[in-house]
């Protein structure tokens, strides 16, 4: 039996420029092409899970502007339930400004808008109505306030649901938050930030976590702290290298990504998180779900826009056929 995916996170409108190259600070780069897409990490993750067949609901906040109606309709069209999206009067819907270069690398700046107004009380009210249960997956992203994220994870953990935290951005998170998490999903940069924050908290020296030692760095986040806090598993995404799955007391698993010619990496992390949640909600074991998620994320970079390359189940299965584990 398939459980549900409940995403607690952001919904944005993405304003994208494909530029000849990424600008340096203070520099203007001409010759770009513009497009408008729907985005926000929460919205993208919800769409990714829904396309893979998971019954999916998003909990978040929209403004009362024209962007809000379009964003809600785009999610509903993808099969994502939007009745837990609150409307915040007098506040704009979140907007992301994105620049993408010919290799698919990007720079992103976000105006949070209504996303910043999501409160623990709003999350609590939504989850009381949704009633998460064992078999469900509650996934939270950090483009909404930390207090709202903590409330979502706490209630989900108490209900016996599986919890995922995408620590993007990583600033402001500590063991008090990711100690409520079954799977923590940082990228390499976010892993470095979390390790540095852990070093400041404990007084130990902390440095960068190059890809070759990412597994060792992630293991420190999966180990219980003095009060028993720690993520049960850490899935570190490493771009074109794939990902590393780390669990305390278990050898790390290297999940290689298939080779592709990336067009736009925007939303690849969201594709990974959505696919991971859908796999776990479908009853897959963590390693299998993570492997599928890496392939889904890699495949998403072949199309422009954060949602343009998100796969359905049939296409993901075709991509997985014949791939080595």
The answer to whether 214 touches 221, Cβ cutoff 8 Å, is no
Binned at pLDDT 50, 70 and 90, residue 24 comes out as very high
Query: Topology of 41-89+115-320 in CATH?
Result: 3.40.1190
Mean pLDDT of the chain: 88
User: Quick one: pLDDT at residue 321?
Assistant: 75
pLDDT at position 87 is 96
Alpha-carbon gap, residue 180 to 37, rounded angstroms: 33
Domain spans, the chain:
41-89+115-320
The pLDDT assigned to 264 comes to 62
What is the tens place of the pLDDT at every residue in 184-196? 999 999 999 998 8
pLDDT at 323: 61
Q: Among residues 108, 111, 98, 5, which one has the least CA distance to residue 63?
A: 111
Q: How confident is the model at residue 209 (pLDDT cuts 50, 70, 90)?
A: low
Q: State residue 228's pLDDT score.
A: 59
Would you say the pTM of this structure is higher than 0.85? yes
First to last CA, the chain: 25
Kindly state the average pLDDT of the residues 32-55: 94
pLDDT of residue 9: 97
Quick one: tokens of 85? 């999206």
pLDDT at 153: 97
Q: Answer with the residue of higher pLDDT: 63 or 297.
A: 63
Max CA distance (Å), the chain: 54
Residues annotated catalytic, as ranges: 270
pLDDT per residue as tens digits for the range 88-123: 999 999 998 989 898 878 898 889 999 999 999 999
Task: Annotate 129-163 with b (16+ C-beta within 10 A) or e (fewer).
Answer: ebebeebbbbbbbbbbbbebbbbbbbbbbebebbb
| Greater model confidence, 239 or 22 | 22
The predicted structure's pLDDT at residue 307 = 78
More confidently predicted of 239 and 135: 135
Q: 63 pLDDT exceeds 70? A: yes
For residue 31, what pLDDT is reported? 93
User: What is the per-residue pLDDT across 283-323, written as a single tens digit (0 to 9) for each?
Assistant: 999 999 999 999 888 887 777 666 777 777 887 877 777 66
d(CA 256, CA 73): 36
Identify the pLDDT of residue 1. Answer: 47
């Amino acid at each position: 039996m398939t459980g549900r995916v409940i995403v607690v996170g952001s919904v944005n409108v993405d304003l994208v420029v494909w530029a000849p190259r990424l600008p340096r600070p203070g520099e203007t780069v001409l010759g770009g092409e513009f497009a408008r897409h729907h985005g926000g990490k929460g919205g993208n993750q919800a769409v990714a899970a829904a396309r893979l067949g998971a019954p999916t609901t998003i909990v978040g906040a929209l403004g009362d502007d024209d962007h809000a109606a379009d964003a809600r309709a785009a999610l509903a069209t993808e099969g994502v339930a939007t009745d837990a999206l609150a409307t915040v009067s007098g506040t704009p819907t979140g907007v992301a400004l994105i620049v993408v270069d010919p290799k698919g690398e990007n720079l992103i700046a976000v105006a949070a808008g209504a996303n910043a107004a999501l409160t623990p009380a709003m999350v609590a009210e939504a989850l009381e109505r949704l009633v998460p249960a064992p078999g469900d997956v509650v996934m939270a992203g950090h483009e909404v306030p930390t207090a709202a994220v903590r409330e979502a994870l706490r209630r989900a953990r108490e209900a016996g649901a599986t919890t995922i935290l995408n620590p993007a951005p990583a600033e402001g998170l500590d063991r008090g938050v990711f100690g409520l998490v079954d799977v923590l999903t940082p990228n390499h940069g976010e892993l470095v930030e979390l390790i540095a924050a852990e070093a400041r908290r404990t007084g130990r020296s902390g440095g960068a976590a190059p890809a070759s030692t990412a597994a060792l760095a992630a293991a420190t986040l999966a180990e219980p702290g003095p009060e028993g806090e720690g993520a049960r598993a850490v899935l570190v995404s490493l771009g074109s290298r794939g990902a590393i799955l780390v669990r305390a007391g278990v050898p790390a698993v290297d999940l290689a990504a298939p080779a592709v010619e990336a067009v736009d990496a925007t939303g690849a992390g969201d594709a990974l998180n959505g696919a991971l949640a859908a796999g776990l909600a479908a009853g897959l074991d963590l390693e299998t779900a993570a492997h599928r998620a890496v392939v889904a994320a890699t495949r998403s970079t072949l199309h422009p826009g954060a949602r343009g390359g998100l796969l359905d189940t049939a296409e993901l299965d075709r991509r997985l056929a014949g791939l080595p584990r």
